[in-house]
Chain A
């Protein structure tokens, strides 16, 4: 279970930052899911932790799209991914049309089998916190700790193995990272016009139900 006291990153030095802007259309959370997986692979996170992070980030984005931005396609969800020496932090921010309540109902108790998203986030990352932004938006911060064998790639340089003998556990090869620090600017994924889509929102009030027919 994640702790609920994320230490803020004090200095932006030595932080590799990537930002992504998603339109508030359900389905676009998969873009963030793919991006965070690519980033996590860059720092050699174990495969199971990458899967955990993919699910947590997708769920945070879905909440932001559906509730925080009220499915308004022209309003962006901002996904910031920050890598430091010891952690990978993902911040998902919306404009706060609906504020994330401090106390959430137990998942699956609303009668619609919904509400599992925050449950997954809390249970899949090492640390998480929900923050109210000064402009009224919500920000969900999720952190995965990087163990010493999962250091971020800083600068390409040659490595001289300490032990010349071949080992089953090789140090991670230092290579130029494809993850570049970016300024705050719109990404290539631009907000789209509202259009009919297979990933349009569905209402939960009139959900079809399984019949009780036996």
Chain B
């Protein structure tokens, strides 16, 4: 199973597919993926945690950092694939005020299309 963060694009929408463990070790590939999407000037980023089952505080700190940069750059950030526990943690650290939580990629694309 990949330990790296992969990225892909669909028009002006970028996706970051996170691995099973999101920790300090994820940092380098996450920033590489994010910077690739930033260079491609995407307007929207979807953070996909469908494969993730362990996010520790360093991993959540990493997500905070990415979201902060994306929001400052005027990008809309969606997050999907999180369990209810990690949704709670994201809320505790204030992430849910800056991102839109959706169930899956389909819902994200539907919601973005209707915006």
Contact = CB atoms under 8 A, between A and B. Distances in A.
A123 B92 contact: yes
A51 B85 contact: yes
Contact of B35 (A27, A48, A51, A211): A211
Given A26-B23, A198-B25, A59 B38 contact: no
A19 B61 CA distance: 30
Given A198-B25, A211-B38, A48 B85 contact: yes
A113 B65 contact: yes
Nearest to B70: A210
A125 to B, nearest CB: 13
B32 to A, nearest CB: 8
A114 B31 contact: no
Interface in B39-92: 39, 41, 54, 56-58, 60-62, 64-66, 69, 72-74, 83-85, 89, 92
A199 interface: yes
Contact of B39 (A52, A123, A202, A213): A213
A102 interface: no
Contacts of B21: 30
Describe A's contact surface by its main secondary structure: loop
B28 A208 contact: yes
B57 A210 contact: no
Given A52-B85, A202-B25, A213 B35 contact: yes
A208 B62 CA distance: 10
B98 interface: no
B85 A214 contact: no
Interface residues of A, number: 35
A74 B61 CA distance: 28
Contacts, number: 84
A117 interface: yes
Interface residues of B, number: 34
A113 B68 CA distance: 10
Contacts of A30: 21, 54
B85 A59 contact: no
B61 A48 contact: no
A202 B57 contact: no
21 contacts: A26-B25, A30-B21, A30-B54, A51-B83, A55-B85, A55-B89, A58-B56, A62-B56, A62-B58, A113-B65, A114-B58, A114-B61, A117-B56, A120-B89, A123-B92, A198-B3, A199-B25, A208-B27, A208-B31, A211-B39, A214-B73
Interface of B: 3, 21, 23-25, 27-28, 31-32, 34-35, 38-39, 41, 54, 56-58, 60-62, 64-66, 69, 72-74, 83-85, 89, 92-93
Interface of A: 26-27, 29-30, 33, 48, 51-52, 55, 58-59, 62, 107-108, 112-117, 119-120, 123, 198-199, 202, 204, 207-214
